[in-house]
Chains A and B, each alone.
Chain A
Amino acid sequence: MLSAAHLTRRFGERVAVDDVSFELAPGEVFALLGPNGAGKTTTLRMLAGLIAPSSGTVRLGAEVLSRHTAPRLRGRIGLLPETPGLWDRLPVRQNLLVYARLHGVADPAAAVDEVLERFGMRDRGREPAAQLSKGLKQRVALARTLLHVPDVLLLDEPTAGLDPESAREVRELILRLRSERRTIVLSTHNLDEVERVADRVAVLRARLVAVDTPAALHARLFGARMRVTLRQPAATFASVLARAGFRDVQAQDQTLSIAVGEHLASAPAIVRQLVEAGADVLSVMPEQARLEDVYLRLLEDEVRLKPDATIEGRRP
């Protein structure tokens, strides 16, 4: 659906984005993570056809985004910038109507009614945008990006500054849009949000440090782990597993954390060893990947994963 090939953008001497490549499928949520100044917004702007890459290409479907195709292809893209960017003096409805017309929507009034309904703002249409709370403004801005039913959504910090309830609504919306097969690129610092909604994560620091699913990144950096909860204190049984050849067995209270090569294959052997040693096993599950650990580790080490698997960013 959307792809970037060797995307590079320089501002004078500074390289803001350096040789970034990835391919996104319809219905995929792709998160761009990185510290401030890592090139996330610049990448989004290049994907939106707002600024041209110094080298490399962006493709939307089969078409290359260029100076000539950009005005037309922008009609298939919905961009949510960092700030809502509403015209404060105009009512919400009029804000949206202008954008529906700019996108050439066949029935602008109906499209506006539909998005207002969808975002639960039908009764707020007459209010000047200036009177809305920050969360409501963000909701209107999101509604604006959907007016023309774009194939691709580029969301720059969509939940920044929102209260938890509004942020959850935005996340739910992202998941709904994914189920409608929209491709979504999300730039954010909110790792919890990424874990909840993103299919794949790209860690960016001008260059792509890594691209993969959160679980795969965790497994590559920290190895896969299994978490076993027992009725008894776990420390008693840690040595049992160590003697059986399991690596890096950690015990805390009633929980054992074990490094494993493959989750499903290891589970029966772990349980068998523990039960034979007299343990009462309450639960066995793969340990949840903590994206924050992955992210910080990647940035600390700028670990380069194998090019064929991750740096090119192709879907597995």
Chain B
Amino acid sequence: MSRILALLGKELADLRQNPALFFPAVLAGGLSMLLPFFIAIVVPALAGERLSDSSDFEIALEMYRDQPRLRDLEPEAAIQAWIFQQFLVLLVLTPVTGAMSIAAYSIVGEKQARTLEPLLATPLTTFELLAAKVLGALLPALGLTVATFLLYLTGVGVFAEPGAFRALLLPASLAVVFVLGPLTSLAALQLAVCVSSRVNDARSAQQIGALIVLPLTAAFILQITGMFQLTVLVIASVALALVGADIGLMLLGIALFERESILTRWK
């Protein structure tokens, strides 16, 4: 554990010295946060119409009639709450897509900077190396997610209809932010680190790493189009599957990490 912390400390210090590395994550997080405000508040205000005047959002009203804690919401507040809740998945996962470039660069970057060989000559095990690399990308992403969520919550409290922010404090919403978000991020970043340990240039790692965003985007689209709803049961099942995936990906990462190939064949 102490060796993971030692290398993790280096990863975070490196990021502090070069915060621009995390700029894409901050930018993506900011944009994904603004998007629902634009849809729920800015566009209706510019059009001079209320969302509750349209029949397109009947699904939102029906959903909230079944929620004891939200049953008393005005129709406009209920629709806004639905929109803000739907975008929570995007909000939580966007910083991870930004952190993906850090993870994708993690191993191949050390190799290209010729810093990997002295690192591998220490008692550091493959598990410790990969764990530190994944955490080095995950922790800043999670920090950004939490910060974005708090800002989101504040924005909804200030700019949305009264009571709409309560939808973001439902157990399902909080589970998305604090359970599904971290577990999904962990899986995605582990996959990116695996990629980083198998390619021999940073550009390939980033391009392949970018593909990991696709299933996350698909999940968001399926959710917002009503293909599935994040009920507590769905969240628990997905969380369980993600825990399994995270363990499996770590084992896969260790199996795929070939010290010898990295040292002797990469140039």
B19 to chain A, nearest CB (A): 11
- A316→B138 CA distance, assembly (Å): 56
**Which residues of the partner chain B approach A71 to less than 8 Å between Cβ atoms?**
123-125
On chain B, the number of residues with a Cβ less than 8 Å from chain A's Cβ atoms is 28
- A90→B123 CA distance, assembly (Å): 21
Q: Is the CB of A83 within 8 A of B114?
A: yes
- A94→B14 CA distance, assembly (Å): 10
A74 touches which of B6, B18, B121, B264 (Cβ 8 Å): B121
> Given A77-B121, A104-B123: A51 and B260 within 8 A (CB)?
yes
Q: Which residue from chain B places its CB closest to the CB of A156 in the assembled complex?
A: B117
Q: Is the CB of B3 within 8 A of A104?
A: yes
Q: Is the CB of B263 within 8 A of A51?
A: yes
B115 touches which of A11, A72, A79, A86 (Cβ 8 Å): A86
Q: Is the CB of B118 within 8 A of A85?
A: yes
Q: Is the CB of B259 within 8 A of A50?
A: yes
Cβ contacts A19-51/B at 8 Å (1 or 0 each): 000000000000000000000001001001111
Chain B interface: which of A95-103, A189-197, A269-277, A285-293? A95-103
Q: Which residue from chain B places its CB closest to the CB of A88 in the assembled complex?
A: B113
Q: Is the CB of A87 within 8 A of B115?
A: yes
Interface residues of chain B: helix, strand, loop or mixed (majority): helix
- A144→B117 CA distance, assembly (Å): 13
- A271→B116 CA distance, assembly (Å): 60
The reply to whether the CB of A141 lies closer than 8 angstroms to some CB of chain B is: yes
The reply to whether the CB of B143 lies closer than 8 angstroms to some CB of chain A is: no
A238 to chain B, nearest CB (A): 55
Q: Is the CB of B118 within 8 A of A144?
A: yes
The reply to whether the CB of B13 lies closer than 8 angstroms to some CB of chain A is: yes
- A85→B9 CA distance, assembly (Å): 18
Which residues between 10 and 69 of chain B lie within 8 Å of chain A, taking CB atoms? 10, 13-14, 17-18
A50 touches which of B113, B121, B123 (Cβ 8 Å): B121
Q: Is the CB of B17 within 8 A of A74?
A: no
- A195→B6 CA distance, assembly (Å): 40
Cβ contacts B98-119/A at 8 Å (1 or 0 each): 0000000000000001111111
Q: Is the CB of A90 within 8 A of B13?
A: yes
- A89→B122 CA distance, assembly (Å): 21
Q: Which residue from chain B places its CB closest to the CB of A98 in the assembled complex?
A: B10
The reply to whether the CB of B225 lies closer than 8 angstroms to some CB of chain A is: no
A85 touches which of B2, B6, B115 (Cβ 8 Å): B115
Q: Is the CB of B120 within 8 A of A94?
A: no
**Which residues of the partner chain B approach A75 to less than 8 Å between Cβ atoms?**
122-123
Q: Is the CB of B114 within 8 A of A98?
A: no
Q: Is the CB of B6 within 8 A of A102?
A: yes
User: What residues make up the interface of B, taking CB atoms closer than 8 Å to A?
Assistant: 2-3, 5-7, 9-10, 13-14, 17-18, 113-125, 259-260, 263-264
A–B complex contacts, Cβ < 8 Å, 20 sampled: A42-B264, A45-B263, A52-B260, A71-B125, A74-B122, A74-B123, A79-B117, A79-B118, A81-B121, A85-B115, A85-B119, A89-B17, A94-B13, A98-B6, A98-B7, A101-B3, A103-B122, A103-B123, A104-B2, A128-B17
